[in-house]
A and B are shown apart, each in its own frame.
Chain A
Amino acid sequence: MLTIKNLKVAVEGMEILKGINLDIKPGEVHAIMGPNGSGKSTLGNVLAGKENYEVLEGEVSFLGEDLLELAAEERAKKGLFLSFQYPVEIPGVPMVNFLKTSLNEHRKYKGLEPLTAGEFLKLMREKKEMLHLDSQLTNRSVNEGFSGGEKKKNEIFQMALLEPKLAILDETDSGLDIDALKIVAEGVNALKSPERSTIVITHYQRLLDYIVPDFVHVLYKGRIVKSAGKELALELEEKGYDWIKKELA
């Protein structure tokens, strides 16, 4: 699904990622943990195609294609989805227009006809119910005036609509109370299939109680310094990151 080889990335001249290697197979869930400033969000953004990130070295292949050659929108349409750590408020762009345009762009790419208004509304209704999303939210502008929790739910709602092959959840748990966290996790798990993969970027182990990873990686100072099974997350929760730092020192 996704293979990252020796990926080095700089932002404004500063090297943030210093040689990432990662291999994600269909159906797998990978957790990327690590202290603040270790480069977790940079990894998510660079995979999603955010500009002003300078790739210094390395390769990323996604479904057999050179991911780094593709524009952000192409990556999205091929099935890569980033759930934003900080979803952007876009006043004046109605949620409904945004979702419809996004969904139909995806369908066009797959050679499908655009959804009719009725089909679209039905699909929205289903997914909204699944995520217990306030039905009024889709009458507003994109993320405008949403609470932190609503924004995160809205990300997963979009993911549920677009059904990506690879979802990158960038700190989707931060700022969520336990009920919202469960709903979000349910939404993610509902999409789980042998063809879909997930990268969960998080600080904390708690989300991983609900979205159970196959692998846990620790990102520290721009490198993956430790990889193991889901038990690593528990160990990190218990001991913090200091023991890893010490181990490396």
Chain B
Amino acid sequence: MTQTVVNKIAVSEKYTSLFQVNRELLDEGSSPLLNRMRDVAIKRFEKVGVPGFKNEDYKYTNLERVFDKEYRPVFQYEKVDVDLNEVFRCDVPQLNTFTVLLINGWFYARNQQLSGLPDGVVAGSLAQLANERPELVQDYLNRQAGLSDDPLVALNTAFAKDGFFLYVPDHVVIEKPIQVINLMRSEDAVFATQRNLIIIGKNSQAKVIFCDHTLSACDFLVNNVTEVFVGRDAVVDVYTIQSQSNNANTVNSSFFKQAENSNLLTGTATLHGGLIRNNLKVSMDGEHAEAKVLGMSFTDKRQHVDNFTNIEHNKAHCLSNQLYKNVLDEDSVGAFTGRIHVARDAQKTNAFQRNNNVLLTDSAKMNTKPQLIIDADDVKCSHGATVGQIDEEALFYLRARGINEPDARLMLMNAFAHEVIQEIRVEPLRDRIDELVDKRLRGELARCHSCDRS
């Protein structure tokens, strides 16, 4: 056996034995709805293990490197010695939202009461609500993730205890966005597992913003899974803003299931963070569903950001549109794999995908791979990918009008990103992201605790 194979087994065994040793702790206090999934899930993880380069879906991202480190798992809620409502200052302030804090994957005990949510809406801790309102959870939990072959999704299911839960009944519009702030804070290296579940009823509307942050610069490994169910005629926005320390490594798997006539917009903005892998799957399970899937990343140093999308057109007359843009500086590495699968009989499908990348240095690297699998014959599908540098002609044009080179470069990079940003449907958020991206590109965006090593 080669060294790498031995290591791969060793890395994976670490997590399976972590499961065996902590089995009782995992079950403790958790709803049977969560506990009953664990055994199947850990077996599924064991079969493949932590994916290495040989795994086609993880070809561009070596996760062994981050899974191999020593972490302390957080299988119980740990008291926080400060008031996070005070400590945390979000870079997206003045955004009028319902705000919820999570700490190391757990719903924060001192979250302020969410007042003013429409009647029937249930929002809070998954651990708590799976115990108290199992009827809301049981038909949805793991109904998407459970079908996934991804070993890390299975690992999440095996370890999942808490996360954010949102239930919106039929015919309810929540006007204000719900902002879920995921904080990592610890004095030692921590492995966190967070499981989110979002259910949006028929003809309802909601907007959820996830913000990932770190409050200390330790090594973190976060393995998140979010399942979103978008009911018939529902309109749902889910945004994720990743701004963590570069010592934080994240695998973030999101699943969206769309019913007939539903409309989904989801976007991921990656500003800071070490190794980030975003898996995103949209299943269009009803006719005339529409999905817009956006992503952008701004990386430097030795950041590594990998976006993997999978849009499943299972029914006819659906529309999907993917737009991913990345600006890579210094030694950072990016990857984009965009899969579109049009099932048999999903006629009149419109499925589009574009990935544009700008490399600012010779050592930055981008891997981009479209994958179209089309089993229907009356469809419109397109994909396009570009990897290039800053447009020198445009740069000269701006400079020839008296705009300094650094400002001109910034203008062009902001413009590049703006094509994605302008699609954001929450106006104040759009403005904020515009500002955040500008700050990020200027190098002014505070990394969470400026003690990054990488």
Binding site for B on A (CB under 8 A): 48-51, 71-73, 75-77, 81-82, 84, 87-88, 90-93, 97-98, 101-102, 105-106, 109, 141-142, 158, 162
Contacts and interface: CB of A to CB of B under 8 A. Distances in A.
Interface string B396-414: 1111111111011001101
Contacts of A76: 399-402
Interface in B115-162: none
B394 A90 contact: yes
Interface stretch (B80-88, B217-225, B359-367, B415-423): B415-423
A189 B392 CA distance: 32
Contact of B401 (A50, A71, A141, A162): A162
A233 to B, nearest CB: 27
A51 B397 CA distance: 12
B415 A141 contact: yes
Interface in B171-225: none
- Majority-rule SS of B interface residues: helix
Contact of B396 (A51, A98, A162): A51
B400 A92 contact: no
Interface residues of B, number: 24
A50 B397 CA distance: 9
A109 B396 contact: no
10 contacts: A49-B400, A50-B400, A51-B392, A73-B402, A76-B399, A90-B391, A90-B394, A93-B415, A105-B401, A105-B404
B393 interface: yes
Contact of A92 (B392, B404, B405, B415): B415
A124 to B, nearest CB: 15
Interface of B: 391-394, 396-405, 407-408, 411-412, 414-419
Closest 10 CB pairs of A and B: A92-B415, A76-B402, A72-B399, A102-B401, A105-B402, A88-B397, A92-B418, A93-B415, A73-B399, A77-B402
A50 B402 contact: no
B402 A109 contact: yes
Contact of B407 (A72, A77, A92, A101): A101
A104 B392 CA distance: 23
Given A73-B399, A73-B400, A142-B397, 6 more contacts: A76-B401, A91-B415, A92-B415, A98-B401, A98-B411, A162-B402
Contacts of A75: 400
Nearest to B419: A92
Contacts of B417: 92
Contacts of B418: 92
Contacts of B416: 92
A67 B405 CA distance: 17
Contacts of A49: 396, 399-400
Contacts of B408: 73
A101 B411 CA distance: 10
A73 B394 contact: no
Contacts of B405: 71, 73
B406 to A, nearest CB: 10
Nearest to B415: A92
A92 B398 CA distance: 13
Contacts of A162: 401-402
B399 A71 contact: yes
B414 A92 contact: yes
A106 B407 CA distance: 14
B11 to A, nearest CB: 43
Contacts of A50: 396, 400
A93 B404 contact: no
Nearest to A158: B401
B404 A82 contact: no
Nearest to B411: A93
B412 A93 contact: yes
Contacts of B392: 51
A111 B396 CA distance: 24
Nearest to B416: A92
A90 B402 contact: no
A98 B398 contact: yes
